[in-house]
């Protein structure tokens, strides 16, 4: 077989190994991401529990990189302190060595069983969780198949003159061997795959034990680089940088003793596995008591960034959250709540405009509306990116709820900015102000709108069915307030013939727009009721609009 064909087979085996790892982690996170996130939130209170959690989750997901991205997103969002996150990464590093030990065993008969079982479970029933388990089993089968291909290909590669020349150039030069393993691990984005490759190389007997030690150290450093490079913000970079520093310090401490470690009586393949495991266990024992010190140092080195002046710039939509659906959805939900805060601020400025007729209030409303539109666009784009790897049924429903929450708030804010604020300015340009009668009728509508907004936020956060029904029932309350104000206004027009018809028309349009805004707020209850399989109980409202797009 030609050298080119061997290289293609080798690259294909590594690619299949990486794809199998990706299938396992993405399938389990898609199917069980939300329970896993909730479990982590309740069990990462101390460093030892975080350490054990890192070991267990890495063994489950077969990827310390996936655990690193998950923990990085937690710390960037502020839901997980940096010290326990560092302890969790120490555990994840140990967990990856257990995966290597498991996959280094001869499990050739297990491979077809995993593929067959995975396919049966995947087609067992139309349930997202069964599909996730089936995909994970298929991914494990593909990893075992890739390892079999890797071993067969390396058995032929070791006889080629070019390979022997490369190995001879690495043998004895510890620094070059370390750097080559570091670069290869970074390119593969999987320390498990490269360690297994080194185990296969060690079995050929072409490399000295000292060189194998250097290669293992290089793999441990290179495995931290993808998370460091992919971290979007300085806050998100703290955790992967801390993990990198721990590995570098450990490698620099062990490298001078490479010759002594190579003098053990272990065979080369066993030496690689034992050294990889022992290195990470020792690092965990040494640094588990230093996580607070390291966290403080990283916080000083990478301080919190100064927030952008424009509040429309997202604060929580970090890229690490895109890798884990439930974390990304939590980030999007936090930004959606910021939109609700902006909308509440617009309502406050609008009421101030009605009372004072200050043109500056119009500028404030317009500025906040522009920021709200900017943030809405960012959230919608972020939600679209989360869905690229597929979502479970629950996560897809939650994404739809967030999307409708964002869209309805954006439309309601447009009514405040482009209609209500402009109606108030027409009065200002005519040198008039809203009368005490008009303000007295606007105030109940305004208060009802604020109360409904509070209920909508509660529905969005707590997913409370009773609160959702209460929010929808308030549409009748707002309708009655509008009808009462309209009747009283027409009665006043009949009594006061000097009132301009245009002034009366402006007030009627203000009442109508308040009701239009409330329709958008009340519509936030419908996604939850639809997901729960319930019908909304509404009073007879001849003017009601489509709940999903009331305007």
Provide mean pLDDT across the span 265-270: 84
Instruction: Please state, for a pLDDT cut of 70, what percent of the chain lies above it.
Output: 80
CATH number where 354 lies:
1.20.58.220
pLDDT at 551: 33
Q: Are residues 295 and 439 in the same domain?
A: no
Position of tokens 């077989």? Answer: 1
What are the angstrom distances between the C-alpha of 533 and each of 404, 529, 530?
Answer: 18, 6, 5
Q: Flag whether 551 is in a domain.
A: no
- If asked whether residues 372 and 503 sit together in one domain, one would say yes
* pLDDT recorded at residue 19: 82
More confident residue, 219 or 326: 219
> Taking the model in full, what pTM does it have?
0.55
Residues 144 and 287 in one domain: yes
Confidence band (pLDDT; 50, 70, 90) for 516?
Answer: very high
Q: DSSP H helical segments within 223-290, as ranges?
A: 225-230, 234-254, 258-262, 268-287
Residue 519 has pLDDT above 90, yes or no: yes
Q: What residues contact 82, with CB distance under 8 A and at least 6 apart?
A: 75, 238, 239, 242, 295, 298, 299
Average the pLDDT over each of 45-54, 68-77, 199-208, 227-236 and give the range with the smallest value: 68-77
pLDDT of residue 103: 66
Residue 83 has pLDDT above 80, yes or no: yes
What pLDDT is stored for residue 151 in this prediction?
Answer: 64
More confident residue, 131 or 164: 131
Q: State whether 197 and 277 are in the same domain.
A: yes
pLDDT at 268: 86
- Owning domain of residue 486: 319-532
Is residue 355 within 8 A of residue 436, CB to CB? The reply is: no
pLDDT reading at 472 higher than 80: yes
- Helix or strand run (H / E) with residue 490: helix 465-495
Same domain? 437 vs 410: yes
Give residue-wise pLDDT tens across range 376-415. 998 988 888 886 666 777 788 888 889 999 999 999 999 9
| Torsion sign, CA atoms 69, 73, 76, 80 | negative
Burial (CB count within 10 angstroms: exposed 0-12, middle 13-18, buried 19+), residue 376: buried
- Asked if 275 and 410 sit in the same domain, the reply is no
What secondary structure, in 3-state letters, does 10-30 show? HHHHHHHHHHHHHHHHHHHHH
In this structure, the answer to whether residues 297 and 333 fall within a common structural domain is no
Q: Are residues 202 and 230 in the same domain?
A: yes
Give the residue with greater pLDDT, 245 vs 228: 245
Q: How many domains does the chain have?
A: 2
Find the mean pLDDT for residues 211-226. 88
Does residue 546 have a pLDDT over 60? Answer: no
d(CA 517, CA 455): 15
547 part of a folded domain: no
Has residue 94 got a pLDDT over 60?
yes
pLDDT digit string (tens) for 480-507? 988 988 888 888 776 665 555 445 678 8
Domain annotation covers residue 433: yes
Indicate if the pLDDT at residue 549 is higher than 50.
Answer: no
Residue 265: per-residue pLDDT: 79
Asked whether residue 166 falls in the same domain as residue 245, the answer is: yes
Same domain, 239 and 349: no
How far, in Å, CA of 40 to CA of 271, rounded?
34
Round to the nearest angstrom and report the end-to-end CA distance of the chain: 70
The tens digit of pLDDT for each residue in 339-359 reads 999 999 999 998 888 888 777
Report pLDDT for 51: 85
Six-digit token string for 184: 């290869």
């Amino acid at each position: 077989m030609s050298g080119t064909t061997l290289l293609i087979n080798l690259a294909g085996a590594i690619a299949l190994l990486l794809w199998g790892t990706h299938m396992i982690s993405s399938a389990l996170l898609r199917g069980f991401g939300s329970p896993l996130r909730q479990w982590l939130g309740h069990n990462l209170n101390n460093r030892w529990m975080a350490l054990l959690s890192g070991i267990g989750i890495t063994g489950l997901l077969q990827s310390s990189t996936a655990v690193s991205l998950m923990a990085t997103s937690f710390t960037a969002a502020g839901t997980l302190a940096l010290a326990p996150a560092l302890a969790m990464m120490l555990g994840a590093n140990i967990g990856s060595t257990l995966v290597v030990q498991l996959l280094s065993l001869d499990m050739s008969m297990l491979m077809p069983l995993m593929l067959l079982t995975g396919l049966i479970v995947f087609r067992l029933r139309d349930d997202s969780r069964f599909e996730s388990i089936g995909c994970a089993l298929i991914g494990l089968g593909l990893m075992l198949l890739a390892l079999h291909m890797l071993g067969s290909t390396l058995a032929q590669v070791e006889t080629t003159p070019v390979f022997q020349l490369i190995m001879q150039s690495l043998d004895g030069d510890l620094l070059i061997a370390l750097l080559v393993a570091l670069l290869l691990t970074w390119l593969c984005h999987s320390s498990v795959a490269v360690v297994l490759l080194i185990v296969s190389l060690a079995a050929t007997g072409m490399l000295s034990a000292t060189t194998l030690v250097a290669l293992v150290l290089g793999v441990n450093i290179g495995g931290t680089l993808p998370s460091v490079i992919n971290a979007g913000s300085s806050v998100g970079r703290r955790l992967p940088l801390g993990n990198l520093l721990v590995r570098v310090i450990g490698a620099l401490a062990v490298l001078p003793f490479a010759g002594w470690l190579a003098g053990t009586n272990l065979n080369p393949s066993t030496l690689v596995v034992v050294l990889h495991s022992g290195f990470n266990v020792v690092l965990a024992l040494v640094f588990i008591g230093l996580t607070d010190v390291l966290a403080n140092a990283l916080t000083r080195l990478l301080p919190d960034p100064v927030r952008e002046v424009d509040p429309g710039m997202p604060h929580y939509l970090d890229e690490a959250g895109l890798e884990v659906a439930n974390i990304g959805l939590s980030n999007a939900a936090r930004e959606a709540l910021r939109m609700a805060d902006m909308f509440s601020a617009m309502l406050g400025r609008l009421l101030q405009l009605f009372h004072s007729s200050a043109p500056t209030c119009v500028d404030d409303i317009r500025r906040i509306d522009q920021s709200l539109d900017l943030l809405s666009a960012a959230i919608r784009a972020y939600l679209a990116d989360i869905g690229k790897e597929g979502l479970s049924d629950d996560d897809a429903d939650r994404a739809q709820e967030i999307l409708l929450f964002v869209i309805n708030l954006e439309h309601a804010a447009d009514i405040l900015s482009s209609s209500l604020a402009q109606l108030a300015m027409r009065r200002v340009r005519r040198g008039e102000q809203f009368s005490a009668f008009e303000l007295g009728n606007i105030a109940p509508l305004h208060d009802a709108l604020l109360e409904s907004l509070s209920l909508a936020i509660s529905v969005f956060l707590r997913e409370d069915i009773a609160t959702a029904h209460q929010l929808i029932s308030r549409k009748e309350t707002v309708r009655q307030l509008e009808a009462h104000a309209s009747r009283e206004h027409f009665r006043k027009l009949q009594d006061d013939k000097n009132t301009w018809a245009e002034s009366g028309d402006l007030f009627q349009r203000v009442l109508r727009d308040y009701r239009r805004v409330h329709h958008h707020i009340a519509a936030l209850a419908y996604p939850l009721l639809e997901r729960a399989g319930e019908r909304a109980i509404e009073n007879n409202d001849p003017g009601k609009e489509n709940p999903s797009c009331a305007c």
